[in-house]
Amino acid sequence: MAIPVLRSLTLKQAIHAALAAFVIGFAITAVEFAWTATRERTAALGRAADVATLLDGPAANAARTLDRALAEEVLDGVVRTNAAWAEIRLADGGVLAHRERPLAPAGLLERAATALLFIDQPVVAQALRGPDGATVARLVIGIDTGAAAAGFLAYASTALVAGTLRNLLIGLAMAAVFHRLLTRPLLQIGRAVAEIDPEKPYGQPLAVPPGHADDELGYVIGRFNQTLTLLDREHAELRRMATRCPLTGLANRALLLDRLDHAIELAGRANGGASGRLAVLYVDLDRFKRINDSLGHSVGDALLCRVAERLSASVRRCDTVGRLGGDEFLVVLERVADAEEAAMVARRLLDALSGLPLAADHRVHITASIGIALHPAGAGNTGPDSAGLMRMADAAMQTAKGEGGNRFVFHTRDMTDRALARLRLEAGLRDATAQKAFELVYQPKIEAAGGRLTGFEALIRWRHDGAMVPPADFIPVAEDTGLIIEIGRWVLEEACRTATRWALDHGPVPVAVNVSARQLADPGFARLVEQLLQRHGTPPGLLELEITETVIMKDVHHHLPTLNRLRALGVRIAIDDFGTGYSSLAYLRQLPVDVLKIDRSFVNDLPHAPDIASTVIALAQRLLLSTVAEGVETMEQRRWLAEAGCDCLQGYLISRPLSADAAEAMVMTAFACNEALPLSA
Ligand code: C2E
Ligand code: MG
Ligand code: MG
């Protein structure tokens, strides 16, 4: 805020300083004047006395001889020395002679000055003596008060002007000093205080203006900062008390609702994308009341604290764990990819609680029931508000309790089933990966024109709980969990081993292996392929890597160096499911690719809707790439593809994926009948 000049401290200071300087200055001047007046008066009287002493001889002579002419001559001399008048008075009282100087009429100022200097009409009288020492007459001199007053006035006016000027300068100097030492630092402090963020008043202490660290201003600022810090602490404590559970230190219901509202708002902005989903986990301890009743409240409280610690330690920093009261806790998970992720966290929480005895000196094991609600529940679903979400999670928790506790339940049965199935799948996949309990099947590819065998595509198979799990179901889980790196390595090794064995036993047959996004992104992937080829003595030309179009195109720049390294090894590269992604034709020309695999969906459309298949074949021919049609199921499709110039065919019409033995038998027959294609390179 700008302070008007008329009300500013600077102006007030200046006025006061000037007034003080004037009052003091004028008091001093008055004393000076009085002193000067006394001096002037004494000097005038002294001068007259000197003249009287000087003319004492001739004046006494004139008086003794009653020589009036001589007396007048002497008196003329006296009045010439600035006396107003002079006379010689005889002892008998008569006046022998009288002389006076004509005086100019005095002005008002002069009269006032005369009155100040001489209240009476001062005279100097000198006794004139005869030879016997007796007084014969007196020489009386009247002082010229006007001349003395004029002298005094001349001095006084000069002194007054000089004094006024001096007072003014002193006043200004005092005002400047005050401004520099006081007003300016005060203004700086005022500005700093005005800049304090009311939302965060304690963020930054006030700075002490330079040069005031150890004076009163520094002291004021120090105290101010100290007060701010104290207030900050108290504020934080108040906030903590208002938002935290006093026993466990976890967020209380109010804070939980606030966080939940905030998370819902963020989720709304992300429009339900993977980063915009959140899960609410309502955790209720099983049979806590019994523990409390039998072991006492202090053990119960200690247990709740340990539970709080365990829950907090089992979630990410961005998640919120709070206590709703009693033995009920709420966990808010932000940015959850899907229901499965929420289920995994719930599983972790249950494991964390049941893992260890929780109360010291008491072998108490605790379990919990967890109800899970998701927001939004599905695509295009805006979902309930925070209170609604909590209610849904609460209801799900009650279901979990009803089912015996120590479990989690989603607010819809369907989600619970899916999450449990996914958890089971994941656990099974981990075991299978550890035990390498997979199998590879091989689907042959043949020359479209002649029908000769050109190679195989290796496809992974997993038998889990007595059923065959399709790769489309477990490969995404393997990708999510990172297990694909190990699984992919196993597939590659197995394919290399098989290709080498077939080559040694029968003849060279290329084997294609599918590579997932995560494998390709792994910086050690090219090196791994090189090592495996070396370890198994596999000619690189026998290995083909199939990478789906969407994976390559998603991050061409990132994948290009790996693809180039693989190509430099002599490995062939195929773009799988071609036509389903958005290939940039410019990139396609730069990519080190050998084969385009026309996606099954386009082959399916043949021969009625051949546009895409024929476009892909034309494009491949233009770029000197070979084409493989996937999913060929009918003779019409086969015929159309052969006529359109497609190089190779793969599909149920030719053969379903075969076991390794069956595939080997096919290789053997092909070489025996000379039906396998000799390698091009
Ligand atoms: P893909 O690489 O496009 O493999 C072709 C899929 O089409 C195979 O399914 C194959 O059995 C199926 N198929 C072949 N011909 C026909 C046909 O005429 N009609 C029909 N309806 N289907 C046919 P599969 O084995 O279930 O594999 C599915 C996908 O799983 C594969 O698609 C591939 O992307 C992935 N996959 C399979 N094995 C592996 C692997 O070892 N590693 C990785 N990363 N992915 C794999
Ligand atoms: Mg494939
Ligand atoms: Mg494919």
Pocket of ligand 1 contains residue 493 by CB under 6 Å:
no
How far away, in angstroms, is 506 Cα from ligand 1 center?
26
- Measured from the alpha carbon of residue 549, the closest ligand is 3
Q: CA 191, CA 184: separation in Å to the nearest integer?
A: 11
Q: Which helix (H) or strand (E) holds 475?
A: helix 471-481
How far away, in angstroms, is 514 Cα from ligand 2 center?
5
What is the separation of C-alpha 221 from the centre of its chain, rounded to a whole number of angstroms?
27
Q: CA 596, CA 603: separation in Å to the nearest integer?
A: 13
Atom of ligand 1 nearest to the CA of 652: 18
- Return the pLDDT at 1: 58
How far away, in angstroms, is 459 Cα from ligand 1 center?
6
Taking domain 436-673, whether its CATH number is 3.50.50.60 is answered by no
Pocket of ligand 1 contains residue 651 by CB under 6 Å:
yes
How far away, in angstroms, is 487 Cα from ligand 1 center?
16
Best probe residue, ligand 1, of 459, 479, 632, 653 (max atoms within 8 Å of C-beta): 459
Q: CA 375, CA 270: separation in Å to the nearest integer?
A: 12
- pLDDT at residue 638 greater than cutoff 90: yes
Atom of ligand 1 nearest to the CA of 599: 3
Minimal-distance CA residue to ligand 1 atom 30: 471
User: What does the block give as tokens for 596?
Assistant: 């385009």
- Return the pLDDT at 444: 97
The torsion angle over the Cα atoms of residues 287, 288, 292 and 295, rounded to 10 degrees, is: 70
Minimal-distance CA residue to ligand 1 atom 4: 459
- Return the pLDDT at 379: 46
Best probe residue, ligand 1, of 514, 545, 580, 637 (max atoms within 8 Å of C-beta): 514
- Return the pLDDT at 294: 79
| Residue 361: how many other CB atoms lie within 10 Å | 9
Starting at the edge strand found earlier in the chain, the sheet holding 278-285 runs 320-325, 328-333, 278-285, 368-375, 407-410
Pocket of ligand 1 contains residue 475 by CB under 6 Å:
yes
Pocket of ligand 1 contains residue 634 by CB under 6 Å:
no
Q: Do the beta carbons of residue 10 and residue 179 sit within 8 Å?
A: yes
Q: CA 388, CA 668: separation in Å to the nearest integer?
A: 66
Which tens digits make up the pLDDT trace of 2-40? 677 778 777 887 888 888 888 888 888 888 888 888 888
How far away, in angstroms, is 512 Cα from ligand 2 center?
8
Pocket of ligand 1 contains residue 443 by CB under 6 Å:
yes
Q: Do the beta carbons of residue 627 and residue 620 sit within 8 Å?
A: yes
Query: What is the rounded average pLDDT of the residues 573-583?
Result: 86
Q: Which of 25-34, 311-320, 655-664 has the lowest mean pLDDT?
A: 25-34
Half-sphere exposure of 382 (CA within 13 A, CB side): 3
- DSSP label at 183? I
- Measured from the alpha carbon of residue 471, the closest ligand is 1
What CATH number matches the domain at 254-411, 1.10.3720.10, 3.40.50.300, 2.70.98.10, 3.30.70.270? 3.30.70.270
Which tens digits make up the pLDDT trace of 389-442? 888 899 899 889 888 888 999 888 777 777 778 888 888 999 999 988 899 999
- Return the pLDDT at 601: 93
- Return the pLDDT at 520: 93
3-state secondary structure of 456: strand
- DSSP label at 303? H
Type of residue numbered 326: G
User: What does the block give as tokens for 272?
Assistant: 């339900």
Pocket of ligand 1 contains residue 459 by CB under 6 Å:
yes
- Return the pLDDT at 101: 83
Q: Where are the alpha helices (DSSP H) in 331-470?
A: 339-354, 386-402, 413-435
Taking domain 5-101+109-169, whether its CATH number is 1.10.287.3510 is answered by no
* Average pLDDT over the chain, rounded to an integer: 86
- Return the pLDDT at 521: 92
| Between residues 544 and 375, the one the model is more confident about | 544
Atom of ligand 1 nearest to the CA of 653: 18
Pocket of ligand 1 contains residue 472 by CB under 6 Å:
yes
Percentage of the chain exceeding pLDDT 90: 36
Query: What is the rounded average pLDDT of the residues 528-535?
Result: 96
Which tens digits make up the pLDDT trace of 39-90? 888 888 888 888 888 888 888 888 888 898 998 998 888 888 778 899 999 8
Which tens digits make up the pLDDT trace of 107-119? 788 878 777 777 7
- Return the pLDDT at 121: 76
How far away, in angstroms, is 423 Cα from ligand 3 center?
27
Pocket of ligand 1 contains residue 633 by CB under 6 Å:
yes
Query: What is the rounded average pLDDT of the residues 354-382?
Result: 71
Q: CA 148, CA 592: separation in Å to the nearest integer?
A: 122
Looking at the chain, the domain(s) classified CATH 3.30.70.270 span 254-411
Q: Which helix (H) or strand (E) holds 166?
A: helix 145-178
Pocket of ligand 1 contains residue 322 by CB under 6 Å:
no
Atom of ligand 1 nearest to the CA of 441: 25
pTM metric for this prediction: 0.58
5 Cβ partners below 8 Å, 6+ apart? 11
Atom of ligand 1 nearest to the CA of 632: 18
How far away, in angstroms, is 663 Cα from ligand 1 center?
16
Looking at the chain, the domain(s) classified CATH 3.30.450.20 span 5-101+109-169
Q: Which helix (H) or strand (E) holds 181?
A: none
Q: What is the DSSP string of 462-473?
A: EEETTEEEPHHH
Query: What is the rounded average pLDDT of the residues 189-194?
Result: 81
Pocket of ligand 1 contains residue 579 by CB under 6 Å:
no
Which tens digits make up the pLDDT trace of 446-503? 999 988 999 999 999 998 888 888 999 899 889 888 899 999 999 999 999 999 999 9
Residue 145 has phi, psi (to 5 degrees) of -65, -30
Pocket of ligand 1 contains residue 476 by CB under 6 Å:
no
Q: CA 42, CA 469: separation in Å to the nearest integer?
A: 133
Q: CA 461, CA 469: separation in Å to the nearest integer?
A: 7
Q: Do the beta carbons of residue 588 and residue 623 sit within 8 Å?
A: yes
How far away, in angstroms, is 553 Cα from ligand 1 center?
20
How far away, in angstroms, is 597 Cα from ligand 3 center?
7
141 Cβ partners below 8 Å, 6+ apart? 48, 51, 52, 78, 83, 85, 86, 123, 124, 125, 126
- pLDDT at residue 378 greater than cutoff 60: no
Q: Do the beta carbons of residue 638 and residue 450 sit within 8 Å?
A: no
Residue 225 has phi, psi (to 5 degrees) of -65, -40
Minimal-distance CA residue to ligand 1 atom 35: 471
How far away, in angstroms, is 550 Cα from ligand 3 center?
11
Which tens digits make up the pLDDT trace of 156-189? 888 888 888 888 888 888 888 888 888 888 888 8
Q: CA 367, CA 355: separation in Å to the nearest integer?
A: 9
Q: Where are the alpha helices (DSSP H) in 270-338?
A: 288-295, 297-313
Q: Which of 60-64, 236-240, 677-681 has the highest mean pLDDT?
A: 60-64
Atom of ligand 1 nearest to the CA of 546: 2
Beta bridge partners of 127: 138
Atom of ligand 1 nearest to the CA of 657: 11
How far away, in angstroms, is 597 Cα from ligand 2 center?
8
Pocket of ligand 1 contains residue 470 by CB under 6 Å:
yes
How far away, in angstroms, is 630 Cα from ligand 3 center?
6
What is the separation of C-alpha 147 from the centre of its chain, rounded to a whole number of angstroms?
86
- pLDDT at residue 383 greater than cutoff 70: no
Measured at the alpha carbon of residue 198, what is the angle toward residues 192 and 201, in degrees to the nearest 5? 65
Q: Which of 251-255, 373-377, 554-558, 631-635 has the highest mean pLDDT?
A: 631-635
- Measured from the alpha carbon of residue 551, the closest ligand is 1
User: What does the block give as tokens for 193?
Assistant: 């205080």
Minimal-distance CA residue to ligand 1 atom 7: 631
Pocket of ligand 1 contains residue 637 by CB under 6 Å:
no
- Return the pLDDT at 377: 61
How far away, in angstroms, is 673 Cα from ligand 2 center?
28
Which tens digits make up the pLDDT trace of 463-474? 888 888 899 989
How far away, in angstroms, is 601 Cα from ligand 1 center?
13
Pocket of ligand 1 contains residue 460 by CB under 6 Å:
yes
Atom of ligand 1 nearest to the CA of 548: 34
How far away, in angstroms, is 434 Cα from ligand 2 center?
24
Pocket of ligand 1 contains residue 577 by CB under 6 Å:
yes
Looking at the chain, the domain(s) classified CATH 3.20.20.450 span 436-673
The sign of the CA dihedral 410, 411, 417, 419 is negative
Euclidean distance between the first and the last CA atom of the chain, given in angstroms as a whole number: 84
How far away, in angstroms, is 516 Cα from ligand 3 center?
12
- pLDDT at residue 569 greater than cutoff 70: yes
**Nearest Cα residue to 313 out of 360, 349, 358:** 349
Helix/strand/coil percentages in the chain, nearest 5: 55, 15, 25
Q: Which helix (H) or strand (E) holds 649?
A: strand 648-649
